[in-house]
Chains A and B, each alone.
Chain A
Amino acid sequence: MRSNPAHYEMVAPATLDDVLALLAHAPGVHTPMAGGTELMVALGAGRLATRRLVSINHLRELRFISTDDGLVTIGSGTTFSDVRRSAVIAAEFGLLAEAASWTGSVANQNRGTLGGNIVNASPAADSPPALLAYDAEVRLVSVRGMRTLPYREFHLGYKKTALEPDELVHSIVLPRVYAGWVGYIRKVGTRNAQAISKVALAGLARMEGGRVRDVRIAAASLREIPVRCLATEAAVIGREITAETIQAARVAMMREARPIDDIRSSAKYRAAVAGNLVEEFLRRLL
């Protein structure tokens, strides 16, 4: 059933401090809305539980990309189009730039935000595998102050995150340490464009003396949350890329993937594709 907009309230306090004060005053009452590319769909379809929203789309404090010697910090209100336009992200965090380029259409990239993408916490979301591969941190802000969390600890369960009801994601922090690493990212969907992933995999590795010195492998749509594939990483770390290593990695991936059957794909297909993507990544390292 279509919803009636007259049944919903939305406020747009002028500043970040005002929004945080509102969230602190009655935690959990107002649902923040950034670009609306997710919540407006749910609202229109009558699937939005909340009746009270607070717009954070206009908060300039959350829309920025800043760089210093060691870090690139991306405000949570940064749109996917902003990410695609950033020279530093294109140069140093290519996996994120690529993920941004396939996150919906241009019109949705102009509105959808990086913060919204991770707070919405879909297991199939496009940016999480890249953020996990880069070992990002998230900064969460409330009237109580700012706290920093490794992004790999942000997703707690299906659509559940570490965000407290009075908190907003302030920013996502990427360490600028990946010169010389080899990156890989691929999304497999029903079509090449405008499709939600059946499986997506991001890989990042550094080779030394013909062996894998460091490796990160992260996936979407293989578990109830976006995950680092630690067993698969363990199967290749310190090794040369041989047929044996590839086989060991495929076996490890089969064991740690917990895909499901759903409207977009089958568990069997997802697991098979995940193994193929791991192999494709490892062959990239040869």
Chain B
Amino acid sequence: MAGLAAVRFRVNGVERTVEAPPVKRLLDVLREDLQLTGTKEGCGEGECGSCAVLMNGELVNSCLVPVLQAEGAVVCTIEGVSVDGRLAPVQQCFLEEGGAQCGICTPGMILATHHLLEKYPQPTLLQIQEGLAGNLCRCTGYMRIFEAVRQASERGRD
């Protein structure tokens, strides 16, 4: 049995310290140690984007991040997207446009959209498709998701 590592990082604006095996997946630390179960596991191998979170402002698949590599990082999960209990514009647009059905891909999809709109505030359809290509949805057929992203870009963020 190897030892535990004490890892300090900031999650949704709150300073947290966890004691965990250093290669424990950030995904599992968020869900099990911090009870932030909004982040979902899909494939567990970086293909589907369900577990996507923002780490130091970059979109990452939390199933491929050993928690030790999150030391000192600033992490934003789906729980940190809404403001004072009110949905962020991106979330509101997904809701209104029917961009969410079963909901498993939605947290990752929302964070990927945030990351995309950070880079391209007025993305083209191609930029939307590329930006979300790592986020698989088996329900919507994507068209309503693309429309939600387009609406969100028109409303501007936050």
Contacts A6-B1, A9-B2, A41-B45: A106 and B112 contacting too (C-beta < 8 A)? yes
Instruction: Let me know if A10 and B134 touch, CB within 8 A.
Output: no
A residues near B3, Cβ cutoff 8 Å: 9
Nearest A-chain residue to B1, judged by Cβ: A6
Instruction: Let me know if B66 and A55 touch, CB within 8 A.
Output: yes
A21 close to B (CB within 8 Å):
no
Contact of A105 among B21, B49, B63, B65 (CB under 8 A): B49
Instruction: Let me know if A9 and B22 touch, CB within 8 A.
Output: yes
Contacts A36-B65, A106-B134, A107-B61: A8 and B21 contacting too (C-beta < 8 A)? yes
Report A27-44 residues with CB < 8 Å from chain B CB.
33, 35-37, 40-41, 43-44
Contacts A10-B23, A106-B133: A51 and B2 contacting too (C-beta < 8 A)? yes
Report B30-50 residues with CB < 8 Å from chain A CB.
44-47, 49
A206 close to B (CB within 8 Å):
no
Q: How far is the CB of B94 from chain A (nearest CB, A)?
A: 18
A residues near B133, Cβ cutoff 8 Å: 105-106, 193-194
Q: How far is the CB of B112 from chain A (nearest CB, A)?
A: 7
A104 close to B (CB within 8 Å):
yes
Instruction: Let me know if B21 and A111 touch, CB within 8 A.
Output: no
Nearest B-chain residue to A45, judged by Cβ: B45
Name B's interface SS.
mixed
A107 to B116, CA, bound (A): 11
Nearest B-chain residue to A10, judged by Cβ: B22
Contact with A along B52-72 (1 / 0, CB 8 A): 100000111101111011010
A residues near B68, Cβ cutoff 8 Å: 10, 12, 55
Nearest B-chain residue to A33, judged by Cβ: B66
Contacts A105-B49, A110-B60: A44 and B44 contacting too (C-beta < 8 A)? yes
Nearest B-chain residue to A12, judged by Cβ: B68
Instruction: Let me know if A40 and B66 touch, CB within 8 A.
Output: yes
A231 close to B (CB within 8 Å):
no
Contact with B along A95-136 (1 / 0, CB 8 A): 000000000111110110000000000000000000000000
Report B103-158 residues with CB < 8 Å from chain A CB.
112, 115-116, 129-131, 133-135
Partner-A contacts on B (CB < 8 A): 1-3, 5, 20-25, 28, 44-47, 49, 52, 58-61, 63-66, 68-69, 71, 112, 115-116, 129-131, 133-135
